[in-house]
Chain A
Amino acid sequence: MTLRFAGRTISYVVLLLIAAVALAPFLVLLIISFKARIDVLEVPPTLHFDWSTISENYRIVMHDDGFITYIKNSLIVTFASTALALAIGVPAAYAFSRLEFRGRDNWASTILSFRFMPPVAVAIPIFLMIQYIGLTDSYLGLILPYIAFSLPLVVWIMIGFFDEIPREIDDAAMVDGCTRVGLLFRVMLPLVRPGILVSAIFGQIFIWNEFLVGLYIINSQDRGTIPIGASSLLTTESPVDWNIAAAVGILTVIPMLIFSLLVQRWIVRGITAGTVR
């Protein structure tokens, strides 16, 4: 009894510590973003809750600095890349899981190995290729490499999900009158929906945060995604306005925070359950 109580106490303490470590920088950021420029460096620091200061800080970031454009760009690029990666990756994974073709296993592991490469290794060649086909500074110029980056993950997660579905289901659907493609859409997709969600989420997180490759390909303000825009806001202006910079930080984090709260149920379910049944 007491042992269980002790164990519980310890686990709460540990959880609190983890929460404190994870949340502290975020809280500091939030507090600074609420202050007027003059108060930022105040010692000792005090709390300010002055609505006019707060809204002014965020208005500057959103409108004067064009952050709203970055959000829009990030949404477009992330959504389009993920959708296309799924459109290519899900059928590919199905083929890897079900069809017999030469070098299937080699191809599957080759695709995964692309994932081991850090973006920094390929940033320059990708930039050169994109430049060669004239897509620098365009959405498509970002979307193409992002598809390439998220595809391996999609394919690998989805192979796992397809492998869990008994082949007899495919056979039954084909005897029932489906073609391979027909059964992929009518029977398989509903069954691997958790997998699609999980791989979409992982892909989105990666793309949303991707910085390095984007930095090469995007030069103009109005095509930048959030990481690119935020870094330019933080590095080009001097001296740095800490309160504004903090607001940038908060705005960068918030969309992901909302997103992860929305999807965490799916992530957990997708990873643990794996599949249907």
Chain B
Amino acid sequence: MGTVTFDGVGKVFPDGTHAVTDLGLEVADGEFLVLVGPSGCGKTTALRMVAGLETITRGEIRIADKVVNDLEPRRRDIAMVFQNYALYPHMTVAQNIGFGLKMHGFTKSEVERRVNEIAAVLDLGDLLARKPRALSGGQRQRVAMGRAIVRNPAVFLMDEPLSNLDAKLRVQMRAEISRIQRELRTTTIYVTHDQIEAMTMGDRVVVMRKGRLQQVDVPQVLYDHPANLFVASFIGSPSMNLFQGEVAAGGMLQVGTQRLALPRDGVFARELATQAGRLVAVGVRPEWIVPASSGDDRPRLRGTVVMTEALGFEVLVHVEIDAAPVVTSETIEVALDVDAAALADLEAERSKQRTMIVARFPAGSPVRAGETIELGLDLSHAQAFDLESGLALGAG
């Protein structure tokens, strides 16, 4: 049994930083739970509190229903994989993997047997006599994994274990970790910065912001029904298009100078029905924006193509529309986490009162930068958010 429970958990560092605030969360036995969020949102801190490497300021953490607040790490029956692997430099691969077993009083032959077993699983057999410094990044990563799984703990804790690998290895190890976790069915809390890892690996995903839980759900729900503007703009790549719209009379949505007919029914229409006369943030994922064709009755939006990115199987079309952008603390924070340029783009949009949106067009679509095009919007998949609170409309 390896459930992990966060019950009103808070962490305040001595310097006054509130790293985690009132975190309540239930990790089921055997679940693969991913913590994701921008830099500094408290993911590592939350994980280290489970490990016992950081004291818990408020609340309670339970592992297998036992309160562990005051338990030393070695008594918590957990194993951890660190971002920089933290292999013992003076020990061989075999000693690194076997160290935890040795500390827990296993006999020499038993340690050896289990180390060899794990080495076979992780394809480390030929490297057992090497020191960490003689290993490649990927090999070190596997040793760190081996060190965790060899002890067969109740819970795995992983803090951005793949962030130091190159893109190709990362994809490979992602699959490998998922496979191992599925086989062992060991409860896993996995911290990452990378939302693709979060979406592909997690049974459920927790999105955190400034030490607070924003939403926890299975990846698809997070993607389809983000609880607020923060989750909406953080999850998804390319991210959800957000622009301002005014709910006008007669089931219309005023977007800049253009007027879109709202779908007659569906969640989106119902959400907006309550907002007559108000400005809301409208969110449409890139895949629900397609080239307008004469045959359909989708609402249309005109804009100027700024740039196209051909990805082989599809074309990402960046289009500038004359709608006010959604610039709130949430979207600013997400842009800031991407890079300085993303933030500058957002500022530019605000000053011009025009918004860049991205559409996924089929490969070979004949669009060119500079031309004006008509986009067809599938608003039945759109989301609306309150501009003040950032919350999804109709969510609560």
Contact = CB atoms under 8 A, between A and B. Distances in A.
Contact of A171 (B86, B87, B90, B100): B86
A190 B84 contact: no
Given A176-B99, A177-B100, A171 B53 contact: yes
A171 B51 contact: yes
A179 B72 contact: yes
B266 interface: no
Interface string B28-62: 00000000000000000000100111000000000
B74 interface: yes
Interface string A164-183: 00101101111111110010
B90 A191 contact: yes
Contact of B74 (A169, A178, A191): A178
B108 interface: no
Interface in A161-218: 166, 168-169, 171-179, 182, 187, 190-191
Contacts of B104: 177
A276 interface: yes
A172 B80 contact: yes
A172 B88 contact: yes
A265 interface: no
Contacts, number: 64
Contacts of B84: 166, 168
Interface string B131-151: 001000000000000010001
B90 A276 contact: yes
B86 A166 contact: yes
Chain A, interface size: which category? 10 to 19
B63 to A, nearest CB: 13
Nearest to B83: A168
Contacts of B100: 175-177
Nearest to B144: A172
Nearest to A168: B86
A191 B89 contact: yes
Nearest to A276: B89
A175 B89 contact: no
Chain B contact patch, size range: 20 to 34
Contacts of A237: none
A173 B366 CA distance: 59
B238 interface: no
B74 A179 contact: yes
A277 interface: yes
Interface string B153-195: 0000000000000000000000000000000000000000000
Contacts of A42: none
Given A166-B84, A172-B80, A277-B133, A178 B103 contact: yes
B14 interface: yes
Contacts of A177: 74, 100, 103-104
A64 interface: no
B12 to A, nearest CB: 14
Contacts of A182: 103
Contacts of A168: 82-86
A191 B88 CA distance: 9
Residue with the greatest number of chain B CB neighbours at <10 A, chosen from A166, A169, A177, A182? A177
A50 interface: no
Given A177-B103, A177-B104, A277-B133, A172 B86 contact: yes
Contacts of B53: 171, 174-175
B227 interface: no
A174 B176 CA distance: 26
Contacts of B99: 173, 176
A171 B88 contact: no
A106 to B, nearest CB: 16
Contacts of A178: 74, 103
Nearest to A190: B90
Contacts of A100: 14
Nearest to B148: A175
B88 A175 contact: no
Given A175-B73, A179-B74, A169 B86 contact: yes
Interface in B1-38: 14
A237 B52 CA distance: 69
B90 to A, nearest CB: 5
B356 to A, nearest CB: 40
Given A168-B82, A178-B103, A277-B133, A173 B88 contact: yes
Contacts of B83: 168
Contacts of B205: none
Highest count of chain A CB atoms <10 Å: which of B14, B53, B83, B133: B53
Contacts of A166: 84, 86
Given A100-B14, A168-B82, A277-B133, A174 B89 contact: no
5 contacts: A168-B83, A172-B147, A173-B99, A176-B74, A277-B89
Q: Which 5 A-B pairs have the closest CB atoms?
A: A177-B103, A168-B86, A176-B100, A172-B86, A177-B74
Interface of A: 100, 166, 168-169, 171-179, 182, 187, 190-191, 276-277
